[in-house]
Chain A
Amino acid sequence: MKENSKDLYQEIKKIFNSEPTSNQKAWGLIHDFYHIILTEMEEKNISRSELAVKTGKSKAMISKLLNNSPNISLKKMVELADSVGIDLKITTSQIEKRKEQFFIKYKQELMAHTTRSVKVVISSYIEDFNYSCNEKRKCNTIELKEEDSAYVW
């Protein structure tokens, strides 16, 4: 135990507020994973017994995985995720950033050709609208009785 509590406090505070180490990031991923699984289980009302049936594992194994499995393997993560209906994927902040940059670039290009794009969108929308109106007219005509014919479009 440290004698100087001020030093200890500063040290602890520094650890909490500094950039995470690789090990802390790894713990973060494990904790995020369990948060996602437990949230999904709660929302979908999935019990641990049901999870055992879905994964084909024993209840004891599920309890072990959910209670005291600090270093859960990627395979077990995917199995658990699948059993609660989650499509687990690995991505990185770099990939996400690249996707975002691509989208921004695409949007800028689209904006540069606004007139043409808008024309295309509008003409296709008009075609769809005309088609659905015609279909609607046909349906209404069929459904309406003779006495209602005055209201046919």
Chain B
Amino acid sequence: MEITVTVDGARYVDNVEPRMLLVHYLREVAGKTGTPIGCDTSNCGACTVLMDGASVKSCSVLAVQADGSDITTIEGLANGEWHPLQRAFHELHALQCGYCTPGMIIAAADLLRDNPHPTEQEIRDGLEGNLCRCTGYENIVRAVQRAAEAGATT
């Protein structure tokens, strides 16, 4: 099937198998390898991207479902300079191996869009769908708090 998808500001027209997952489309067809895959049951959230502004786990969306949509991945989040969440993750050491980081940052961006001033518990609950094995989440929570203070609502 032919689909038209905008990914990080560039328009792509491709023929894909109907069963192809969006994350495989992004990684293997569009060449956007910044979004990794961590599981096959949509539990880990590593593959989270923004689809028309809302976060989705791209392993649980078919590429054909993304036809006509506007996708933002971690690679397209920076706008000339790093997004406040990218900066905060760096400054507060909210990543170690970094594998969960793209999904975690995108999910946090969506969280802050819904709730620009979350409490610690709201951050923890809001990121429940994104797993990190390295950080114990402490610094991730702090980073999201700092990004919120910096006004990272977009």
Does B associate with A? Answer: no
